[in-house]
Structure 1
C-alpha cells in the first residue's frame, strides 16, 4: 500500500523531472511525513480543456455522488481501478500524478514494526499514479494507485505505490486518453531496479510529532 510518503524536492526539480508545461506555482512545503487525510501536491488537468496545473488535492477519495457515508480510500489497486464502479470514471477521465521523494513501509521485526524508507537510488523524484474526483464540497480528493511490490520493495511489503517511468507521465495525464487497453499499452511502471530502501527511526509513526529530515536518515 501507500500510507505515508515524503516530498522535499523543490518545484524547479519537479518541473524538470516532469518535462511538461505547468502553470506557475509558488514554493512547495517541504514534508517528510505526509499522512492521509491531508492536502497533498498533485499534477492534473482540472477539466478536459484546462492547462496542466500543480495544485493541492485531499488525500482521500470520495466522489460527490457517493454520499457522505461512502468510504474514503487513500489507495486504489491497479487490478480493480479500471473496472470498479467507485473508481472507473476517475480512471478514465480524472487521472493525476502525485510527486514524492520516497515512501514508508513497515516490516515486522522481533514483535514490532520497523519502518523503512523506499526511494530512488539516483535521488530523482518519484511520480505516483493517482485518480481524483470532485468531493461534496467541490474540492478534489485523490487516491494513489498501488500494485504488487517489485524488486527490493518486496522485502518490506506485498504492495507498493504505482510509480511511473518518465515516458508514461504525459499519457497518464492526457484527459482525452480514456480507453483502458490503450492506457495499459502506453503507461508503464518505473524500473524496480531503481528503488532502494533502508530502516529509519520509528519517529515516523507519529506524523504530528515527526516532520524533519531526520526521519529519512538510516536508523
Structure 2
C-alpha cells in the first residue's frame, strides 16, 4: 500500500543524464503529505521516441477505454501489474518513476492507528516505480504506484510497500525497448532492504490538506 508520501528534497540527480529538463521543478515547494487525487511530480516518456521529462500527472489511474465510472486505483500490485488487463498495457509501454523522500503507513496499536514515516537511511531520493495512462478526461494522465510485499523494517508497519528502485535501475525502467516482464525484471532491482528505516510521527499527518508542514515527518 502507498496512499500518502512526502517529496521535499526536489533532488533528481540520479536521473540527471536521462531527464531532458532536470531543473524543471527546482523551485517547486516541498510537499510533506502528498495525497491521492492531486498532481504529483513524475518522470516519464510521453511516447517511445520522447525524452524523459518530469511532469505533473494525476495520482489516480483510469485508462480512457475503461470509461468514466471505472475505478481509479492509486496502486498496482507488482505480482499482477504485468498480467492484469487494466494495468498490463501501461506496464509494457508507459512505465514511470515517482520521486519521493518517504511514505507513510499506519500501524495498529491498542485499538488506534499510529502513523509512521518510512524512508531511506542514507537520505537519498527514493524512486517509486509506477505506470501511467491517458485518462480521457480533462485531467492530466493518471498514475498508479506499484507496490510489493514489504521488506526490511517496513514489515514492522505494513505488509506492503511501494516498489522503490535502485539508482542503476532507473533508466532501464524508463527504457521503451524493454516491454516483456522477464526482460524488465532482468534489468531492474529494488533498493536494498537494509536501507529502509521508519519512525512514528504525529497523527497530524492523518489530515491530507496540510502538505507544507515540515514537522509532519519529525519523529515523536
Q: Same fold (TM over 0.5)?
A: yes
CA deviations on 1:147-166 (whole Å, 9 max, x unpaired) are 00000000000000000011
Q: Which residue of 2 aligns with 1:18?
A: 15
Check if 1:50 corresponds to 2:47.
Answer: no
Residues 1:99 and 2:96 are matched in the alignment: no
Where in structure 1 are there 5+ consecutive unaligned residues?
A: none
1:178-216 superposed Cα distances (whole Å, 9 cap, x missing partner): 011100111111101001100000000001145310000
Give TM-score, length-normalised by structure 1. 0.96
Deviation at 1:19, TM superposition (A): 4.1
Query: 8 Å contact 1:62–1:135 — kept in the other structure?
Result: yes
Say which SS state the counterpart of residue 33 (structure 1) adopts: strand
1:124 is the counterpart of 2:124: yes
Who is 1:177 aligned against?
178
State the distance in 2 between where 1:109 and 1:206 align.
19
RMSD (Å), alpha carbons: 1.1
Q: d(CA) in 1 for partners of 2:152 and 2:99?
A: 21
* Correspondence list, 1:25-174, <5 A: 25-26=24-25, 27-137=27-137, 139-174=140-175
Q: Find the aligned partners of 1:128 and 1:105 in 2 and give their Cα distance.
A: 15
Instruction: Tell me if structure 2 keeps the 8 A contact 1:203–1:210.
Output: no
1:118-145 per-position Cα deviation (integer Å, ceiling 9, x unaligned): 0011110000000000011263100000
Report how far residue 48 of structure 1 moved.
Answer: 0.8
The unaligned stretches of length 5 or more in structure 2 are none
Change (3 A) 1:184 1:21: closer
CA distance in 2, matches of 1:205, 1:42: 24
Q: Report the number of matched residues.
A: 216
Specify the SS of the correspondent of 2:147.
strand
1:17 Cα deviation from its structure 2 partner: 2.1
Partner of 1:200: 201
- Output one character per residue of 1:38-76: Cα deviation in whole Å (capped at 9) or x when no partner: 000000001111111000110000011110011100000
